């Protein structure tokens, strides 16, 4: 999903404060139910199975699911509930690849995003729906990072951050582990261990991935050849560059140029017609 252009639509957003008699009647949803539990406890029945959810839990109920819910009358639930639709640019439904129940905790960044969304939703100023959709995308991005990006499950060590900034500023150069370790003020061995702990990849794997991502962007501009893109990303061996590009991206770099050329021809045909 992270490579899919999505168009989010909010059907309902509410900062729910449950009463002892609060209930969601059993029904099939025609939307995605994304609910974050701020406080208390609730019981959600999803497709015939009952789940207990507590403070810091995220519930993601796919569109088309059977759903009902009650709260614990002795520990009333407070939550942020979103009923939403996600579409791709062709108008097709996009599935959220989140588990039904995930414990997120109580991160300040997430609470700030929900508070901003609540403010925009209630103020209803001109353009508030556009701002609300932007905030929803940031919330989804936060959840996606939490679930699938190991490098964001907690703050990154400042020494590793310093090395990452250096990598991203020098993608056109040869970057050695020893050089990065020196910048971080660590031995090469310890730096490598610490880097993998926070980033979920070895230093070399991370550098290669960033260089190839950069090369892909350069090629997508349509202004450079494969050889020029390779040189701009610090690769002198074009064969190795192409092999590494295909390993990381799943297709050769030349395919981008072919696709660009095909797109240009189609646009020209449209203009001629």
pLDDT in tens, 53-64: 999 999 999 999
pLDDT at residue 18, as a whole number: 93
Confidence band of 197 (pLDDT split at 50, 70, 90): confident
**pLDDT score of 208 more than 60:** yes
Confidence band of 7 (pLDDT split at 50, 70, 90): confident
Q: Are 44 and 59 in contact (CB under 8 A)?
A: yes
Which DSSP helix (H) or strand (E) runs through 23?
A: strand 23-28
Which DSSP helix (H) or strand (E) runs through 51?
A: strand 49-54
Q: Which of 95, 133, 109, 111 is nearest to 36 (CA)?
A: 111
pLDDT at residue 271, as a whole number: 44
Q: What is the pLDDT of residues 110-160, one digit of tens each?
A: 999 999 999 998 888 888 889 999 999 999 999 988 888 755 545 678 899
**pLDDT score of 89 more than 90:** no
**pLDDT score of 227 more than 90:** yes
Rounded to the nearest integer, the mean pLDDT of the chain is 89
pTM of the shown model = 0.62
Q: Please give the residue that has the higher pLDDT: either 43 or 221.
A: 43
As a dihedral over the C-alpha atoms of residue 36, residue 37, residue 42, residue 44, rounded to 10 degrees, the angle is 10
**pLDDT score of 83 more than 50:** yes
Domains annotated on the chain, with CATH: 6-148 (2.60.120.280), 158-260 (1.10.10.60)
pLDDT at residue 112, as a whole number: 92
**pLDDT score of 224 more than 80:** yes
* In 162-270, beta strands by DSSP E: none
Give dist(CA 178, CA 207) in Å, integer.
Answer: 13
Confidence band of 206 (pLDDT split at 50, 70, 90): very high
**pLDDT score of 268 more than 50:** no
């Amino acid at each position: 999903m992270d490579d899919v252009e999505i168009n989010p639509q909010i059907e309902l957003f509410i900062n729910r404060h449950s009463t002892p008699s609060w209930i969601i009647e059993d029904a099939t949803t025609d939307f995605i139910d994304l609910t974050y539990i701020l406080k208390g406890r609730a019981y959600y029945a999803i497709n015939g199975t009952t789940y207990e959810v507590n403070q810091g839990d995220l519930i993601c109920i796919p569109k088309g699911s059977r759903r009902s819910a009650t709260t614990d009358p002795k520990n009333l639930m407070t939550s942020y509930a979103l009923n939403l639709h996600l579409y791709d640019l062709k108008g097709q439904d996009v599935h959220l690849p989140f588990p039904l129940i995930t414990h997120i905790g109580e991160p300040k960044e997430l609470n700030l995003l929900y508070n901003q969304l609540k403010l925009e939703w209630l103020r209803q100023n001109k353009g508030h729906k556009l701002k609300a959709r932007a905030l929803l995308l940031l919330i989804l991005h936060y959840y996606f990072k939490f679930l699938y990006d190991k490098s964001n499950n907690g703050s990154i060590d400042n020494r590793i951050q310093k090395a990452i900034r250096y990598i991203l500023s020098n993608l056109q150069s040869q970057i050695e582990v020893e050089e990065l370790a020196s910048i971080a003020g660590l031995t090469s061995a310890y730096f490598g261990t610490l880097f993998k702990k926070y980033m979920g990849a070895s230093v070399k794997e991370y550098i290669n991935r960033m260089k190839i991502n950069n090369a892909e962007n350069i090629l997508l501009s349509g202004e450079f050849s494969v050889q020029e893109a390779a040189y701009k990303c610090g690769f002198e061996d074009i064969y190795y560059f192409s092999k590494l590009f295909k390993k990381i991206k799943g297709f050769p770099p030349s395919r981008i140029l072919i696709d660009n050329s095909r797109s240009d021809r189609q646009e020209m045909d449209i203009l001629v017609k």
